[in-house]
């Protein structure tokens, strides 16, 4: 660096501490970037790349953005997953000896943004950390810096559960230790697409110890310490709004793994990755940003505690019962701003007078909110109003202090009301009277000189002046006016009297602005003391908003209050899929019953494609989830067990990012379900086995059904095109056949979308192809091939199995009878080593890679024995 200029040396020294960030280096009214930062930023931000002489052998790449419009550029970079280090001048250039001192005053990262334009008001912006305790145990900490929320959860079932827990959470950045396995780090960036940051320190400063008082576990304290020290290091400002850490007791909530969250499209759709078309889209009738965020949290964590669920039902019932009062409630809630994030901005020090005005107006609505809630006849709804504290002292303080129309900035005055501070009133009076005196002086001078165009003006360079056009200069009396500035067509003058008054006016204005700024900072500090109460109030208001949203959608969509049973029975009368029902027009949705008594654990569903099998399966899962978050459900009646977990395998979703085919995804998801489900779980398996050959698929599908029946006992919906499986109802006591009705009229199939008992009689695959408008020649050829195959099947059913040369299917599982005669060996008496090895394998606990290695070993062993 010896060859560079002192300023570039300073830049490089600071940049060395922020190698993974864009360094916004303040030079005058611009943030400048140099070297690689400039090359990358010019492309990402589409700004001009220039260069400058930095004292070295070559010119240095450079680009810059104006300081006053930097927020949009920062937002652009942060949304793309980058970090931005803000480097400001920290001393007055006039008093600097040499290069002005500069320091990084804030590191803005995807998980720590605070500015409103960078945040989705209906979405939390979580920064998370992962700490590994042992091979199977991990601790996850969540922080939303914009609201101060802190949560922590212990994961004791390995890395897969970590990914499932993080999946679909609004996480932008994860803080970890450098020692975390590199394979895990790659999964986080590739599968969750988050920014990774590193922090090794886990100690907690004394000032923050009250945040972890509820945590008795040292591992949890250290895990929170990792995240907290990262926040301290990046933000370097007040964190008074951070709330005590709340432990997420995962055993209190229904488990929804990554596959179920995706397949059921709870918060976003699979195809478009957007809210529209998801269950959240249907249920979101909230009117506040806080309520929208709370709804999403409830939807991600359905309850297991029946008393808590029933408490929510009582509130929804009470709110539904009185339409007019509920509409008044919604109107009152619409006037309440985002209290959570306003409190965060107060603590963070980036709140302005308009924010405090919003805070005042929001608190001012609370008495009305209490009154409306207490006007309901339901006791539980009344209690919601009774516990709310309307923060009268804070309202009074803000009402006395803040003007009704304050400016956006806090350094130009105009924020504080008259009468709030005596000294400020004196300055304002002096300024106001001085200006009145100026106006009167102008009139006096016009009369004295008889110059009607004479005027008194002001600018920042010359202060106050008397301006006279050149044509009227001869009318000025001699000796009274002192020339101050010459213009093309006029002259500007000052008088001793005007000069004296100018000093008084300007001094009063300057002192007024400075005092007002100081008063605002003092006011902001006073408001900080109310942050804990504001956060409690925000939580109460957000819950009220979610519950009124449940009541609103339940009434408008004709939802019903469900009941729960302890006998594991499912009895849904005319159930509907909430999302499909909403998008269909003219009440065209066909409702269906779901009936599974305590003697039926598996419904084997058959029927043609496009008939509604998958919709029927998802419908049950969504009704269960809605019921366990406290919302009424789309049906006429619902009697349900409380499900501890939901597992799904629905849709052919190749995971190409992880290099997994449809069939591998099927097997992994099926394995995950049957190895983790309990008798209190719900399993949805759609078309298992279709990713491989017919015989392999059928064998796997039957084996899975039997395994769930004999060993798991969970309530299971299993759809299939393998009609041969319908015979299982004779062998399995707890399995029942149902099918989706379809009728054929004049060579065309009509899907009735109705579920009925028994097995389907045929597949209608070619009819579906007709509906898809495939070419007529193709359809006709398919019908010929189908007839030939059906004839062949009839002949084969009366004869011996065909020789291997006649087999048209490729199979993983080939029996001895299907092998070519010349390759068959004589039967081996006794148990071979290969047979013993096969019996000892526990396939369900293997990873795909382990299975491939074991297969290679067995093949080698078979060759040796052969």
CB-CB contact of 609 with 620 (8 Å): no
Core vs surface per residue 356-385: b (16+ CB within 10 A) or e: bbbbbbbbbbbeebbebbeebebebbeebb
Other CB atoms within 10 Å distance of the CB of residue 592 = 23
Q: How far is CA 691 from the centre of its chain?
A: 33
CA-nearest of 258, 260, 165 to 617 is 260
CA-nearest of 566, 460, 476 to 510 is 460
Residues belonging to the binding site are 607-614
For 631, which DSSP code?
-
**Strand-by-strand arrangement of the 463-469 sheet:** 455-459, 463-469, 490-494, 482-486
Q: How far is CA 378 from the centre of its chain?
A: 34
Q: Is 35 exposed, middle or buried (0-12, 13-18, 19+ CB in 10 A)?
A: middle
Q: What H or E segment, with its residue span, contains residue 777?
A: helix 776-798
Which residues contact residue 307 at a Cβ distance below 8 angstroms, ignoring those fewer than 6 apart?
none
List, as one string, the DSSP characters of 6-60: HHHHHHHHHHTT-TTEEEEEEETTEEEEEHHHHHHHHHHTT---EEE--SSSSPE
Give the span between the Cα atoms of 441 and 444, in whole angstroms: 5
Which residues contact residue 841 at a Cβ distance below 8 angstroms, ignoring those fewer than 6 apart?
854
Judged by DSSP in three states, 298 sits in helix
Judged by DSSP in three states, 538 sits in helix
Bridge-based pairing state of the strands 50-52 and 126-132: unpaired
Which residues contact residue 175 at a Cβ distance below 8 angstroms, ignoring those fewer than 6 apart?
111, 127, 128, 129, 130, 197, 198, 199, 226, 227, 230
Residues belonging to the binding site for ATP are 607-614
Q: How far is CA 141 from CA 165, 220, 507, in A?
A: 11, 9, 53
Which residue, chain included where needed, has tokens 């008194």? 456
Give the span between the Cα atoms of 92 and 84, in whole angstroms: 24
Q: Is 63 exposed, middle or buried (0-12, 13-18, 19+ CB in 10 A)?
A: buried
């Amino acid at each position: 660096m010896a060859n560079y200029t002192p300023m570039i040396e300073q830049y490089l020294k600071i940049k060395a501490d922020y190698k993974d960030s864009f360094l916004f280096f303040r030079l005058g009214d611009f943030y400048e970037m140099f070297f690689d930062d400039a090359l990358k930023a010019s492309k990402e931000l589409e700004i001009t790349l220039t260069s400058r002489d930095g004292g070295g052998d070559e010119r240095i790449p450079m680009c810059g953005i104006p300081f006053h419009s930097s927020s949009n550029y920062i937002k652009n970079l942060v949304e793309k997953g980058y970090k931005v280090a803000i480097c400001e001048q920290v001393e007055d250039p006039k008093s600097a000896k040499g290069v002005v001192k500069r320091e990084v005053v804030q590191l803005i990262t995807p998980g720590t943004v605070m500015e409103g334009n960078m945040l989705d008001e209906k979405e939390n912006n979580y920064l998370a950390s992962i700490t590994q305790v042992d091979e199977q145990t991990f601790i996850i900490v969540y922080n939303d810096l914009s609201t101060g929320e802190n949560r922590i959860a212990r994961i004791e079932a390995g890395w897969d559960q970590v990914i499932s827990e993080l999946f679909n959470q609004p996480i932008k950045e994860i803080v970890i230790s450098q020692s975390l396995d590199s394979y895990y780090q790659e999964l986080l960036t590739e599968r969750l697409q988050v920014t990774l940051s590193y922090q090794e320190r886990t100690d907690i400063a004394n000032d923050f110890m009250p945040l972890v008082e509820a945590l008795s576990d040292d591992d949890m304290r250290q895990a929170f310490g990792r995240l907290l020290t990262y926040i301290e290091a990046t933000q370097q400002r007040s964190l008074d709004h951070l709330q005590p850490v709340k432990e997420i007791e995962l055993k209190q909530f229904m488990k929804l793994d990554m596959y179920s969250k995706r397949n059921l499209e709870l918060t976003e759709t699979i195809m478009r990755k957007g809210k529209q078309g998801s269950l959240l889209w249907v249920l979101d009738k909230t009117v506040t940003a806080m309520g929208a965020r709370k709804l999403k949290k409830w939807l991600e964590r359905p309850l297991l505690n029946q008393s808590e669920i029933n408490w929510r039902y009582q509130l929804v019932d009470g709110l539904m019962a009185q339409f007019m009062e509920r509409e008044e409630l919604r109107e009152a809630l619409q006037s309440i701003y985002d209290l959570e994030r306003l409190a965060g901005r107060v603590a963070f020090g980036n709140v302005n007078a308009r924010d405090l005005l919003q805070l005042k107006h929001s608190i001012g609505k609370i008495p009305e909110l209490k009154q409306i809630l207490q006007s309901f006849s339901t006791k539980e709804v009344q209690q919601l109003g009774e516990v709310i504290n309307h923060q009268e002292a804070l309202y009074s303080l803000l009402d006395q202090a803040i003007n009704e129309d304050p400016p956006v900035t806090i350094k130009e005055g105009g924020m504080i009301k008259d009468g709030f501070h005596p000294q400020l009133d004196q300055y304002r009076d002096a300024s106001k009277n001085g200006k009145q005196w100026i106006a009167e002086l102008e009139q006096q001078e016009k009369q004295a000189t008889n110059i009607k165009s004479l005027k008194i003006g002001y600018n920042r360079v010359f202060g106050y002046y008397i301006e006279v056009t050149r044509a009227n200069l001869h009318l000025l009396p001699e000796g009274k006016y002192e020339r101050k500035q010459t213009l093309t067509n006029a002259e500007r003058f000052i008088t001793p009297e005007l000069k004296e008054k100018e000093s008084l006016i300007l001094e009063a204005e300057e002192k007024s602005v400075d005092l007002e700024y100081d008063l605002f900072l003092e006011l902001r500090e006073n408001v900080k003391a109310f942050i804990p109460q504001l956060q409690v109030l925000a939580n109460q208001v957000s819950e009220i908003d979610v519950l009124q949203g449940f009541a609103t959608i339940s009434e408008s969509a004709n939802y019903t209050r469900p009941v729960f049973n302890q006998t594991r029975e499912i009895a849904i009368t005319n159930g509907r899929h909430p999302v499909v029902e909403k998008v269909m027009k003219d009440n065209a949705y066909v409702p269906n019953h779901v009936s599974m008594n305590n003697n039926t654990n598996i419904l084997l569903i058959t029927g043609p494609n496009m008939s509604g099998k998958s919709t029927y399966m998802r419908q049950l899962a969504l009704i269960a989830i809605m019921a366990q978050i406290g919302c009424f459900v789309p049906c006429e009646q619902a009697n349900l067990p409380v499900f501890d977990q939901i597992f799904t395998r629905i849709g052919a979703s190749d995971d190409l990012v992880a290099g997994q085919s449809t069939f591998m995804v099927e097997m992994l998801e099926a394995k995950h379900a049957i190895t983790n489900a309990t008798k209190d779980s719900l399993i949805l398996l759609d078309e298992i086995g279709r990713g491989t050959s017919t015989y392999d698929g059928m064998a796997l599908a039957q084996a899975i059904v039997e395994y769930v029946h004999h060993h798991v006992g969970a309530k299971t919906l299993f759809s299939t095109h393998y009609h041969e499986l319908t015979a299982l109802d004779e062998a399995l006591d707890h399995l029942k056949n149902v099918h989706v009705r379809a009728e054929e009229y004049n060579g065309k199939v009509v899907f009735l979308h109705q579920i009925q008992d028994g097995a389907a009689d045929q597949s209608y695959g070619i009819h579906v192809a007709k509906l898809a408008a495939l070419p007529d020649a193709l359809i006709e050829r398919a019908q010929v091939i189908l007839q030939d195959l059906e004839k062949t099947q009839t002949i084969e059913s009366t004869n011996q199995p065909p020789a291997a040369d006649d087999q048209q299917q490729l199979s993983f599982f080939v029996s001895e009878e299907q092998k070519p005669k010349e390759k068959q060996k004589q039967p081996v008496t006794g148990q071979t080593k290969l047979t013993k090895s096969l019996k000892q394998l526990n396939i369900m606990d293997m990873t795909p890679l382990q299975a491939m290695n074991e297969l290679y070993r067995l093949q080698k062993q078979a060759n040796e024995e052969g």
